């Protein structure tokens, strides 16, 4: 379950599916594509991970 959640969150955060495939050690991309069925990917421009960190930091500083 943890592995499935990890892969799903990576894909939702915009990590390339080939990168996720390599991180999980899958031999075939089809194996990694299983995780796409639960992803909630929104149509948006790519966002820097630092933007998320800054947003979280600003919320905790208030």
Question: Mapping DSSP to helix (H, G, I), strand (E, B) and coil, where does residue 42 land?
Answer: coil
Total domain count for the chain? 1
| Digitized pLDDT (tens) for each residue of the chain, 62 residues in all | 888 889 888 888 889 999 999 999 999 999 998 888 777 666 655 667 777 777 778 777 66
Range of the domain at 56: 2-61
Contact 11, 36 (CB under 8 A): yes
**b/e per residue 14-35 (b: at least 16 CB within 10 A):** eeebeebbeeeebeeeeebeeb
* Helix/strand/coil percentages in the chain, nearest 5: 70, 0, 30
Question: Mapping DSSP to helix (H, G, I), strand (E, B) and coil, where does residue 19 land?
Answer: helix
């Amino acid at each position: 379950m943890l592995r499935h959640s990890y892969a799903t969150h990576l894909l939702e955060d915009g990590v390339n599916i080939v990168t996720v495939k390599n991180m999980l050690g899958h031999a075939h991309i089809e194996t990694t594509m299983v995780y796409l069925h639960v992803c909630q990917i929104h149509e948006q421009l790519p966002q820097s991970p630092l933007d998320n960190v800054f947003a979280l930091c600003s919320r905790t500083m208030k």
